Amino acid sequence: MAVQSDKWFVIVNPVAGGGRGLDHFPQISKLLRDAHIVCEPVFTEHKFHATELTVTAVREGYRRIIAVGGDGTLHEVVNGLFIQQTVCPDEVLLAVVAVGTGNDWVRTFGISNRYQDAVRAISAGCSFLQDVGVVSYEEAHYRQSRYMANVAGVGFDAHVVRKLSHLKKKGHKSRWRYTWCVVKNFFRYKSTG
């Protein structure tokens, strides 16, 4: 199936930012239409679905992908770009409309988290090259690799993220969840090194 070369595949994480992915997508979609950005939106349904969707999109001919979500959504899309075997990852343009709670990646690069600014940048063709790191590890007797466009953390940082992940699984949806985890675990963390 041939895809228009200017058509964007939009991967929307509906639960990003405590549900903002779903709640704010009508506004984002209107901004994309108003900017004459032709796109095909698809919503993720489960963990790692953005990775699967990315692999499929590239196989179907998409070379422009917009991730509507947070750092986790971006992480999954980046992994999809690097595990797919259709084209070299640098042949795919990846844009982000940040709706997550942390949005560390956009903050790291000084990118606005305002939807209209993100859409304006996509429309204007603003882009830059991004280094991507890879971590290889063994799990269940199989060699695994994960790719990351953001930062990697160890020690206290990893401890906080693990606790945060546990809270998310339990259904805690406060936008202050990360800050609360940092403060609470600051006094409880014991260095292992």
The C-alpha atoms of residue 185 and residue 193 are separated, in whole angstroms, by 17
The closest alpha carbon to 24, from 32, 164, 62, belongs to 32
HEC profile for 78-98? HHHHHHCCCCCHHHCEEEEEE
What is residue 149's predicted lDDT score, i.e. its pLDDT?
85
Q: Which two tokens stand for residue 17?
A: 């930012």
What is residue 107's predicted lDDT score, i.e. its pLDDT?
83
**How does strand 39-43 pair with strand 133-139?**
unpaired
What is residue 111's predicted lDDT score, i.e. its pLDDT?
85
As a whole number of Å, the end-to-end CA separation of the chain is 53
User: Residues with Cβ < 8 Å from 66, sequence gap 6 or more?
Assistant: 8, 9, 10, 11, 32, 39, 94, 95, 96, 97, 122
Q: Read off the amino acid at residue 106.
A: V
What is residue 48's predicted lDDT score, i.e. its pLDDT?
95
Say which residue the tokens 């070369």 belong to: 5
pTM of the model: 0.80
- List the pLDDT tens digit at each of the 193 positions of the chain: 566 778 999 999 999 988 999 999 999 999 999 999 999 999 999 999 999 999 999 999 999 999 999 989 999 999 999 999 999 999 999 999 999 887 888 888 888 889 999 999 999 998 888 888 888 888 888 998 888 887 666 677 666 777 777 777 777 666 666 677 777 777 777 776 6
Q: Which two tokens stand for residue 7?
A: 């058509």
What is residue 104's predicted lDDT score, i.e. its pLDDT?
82
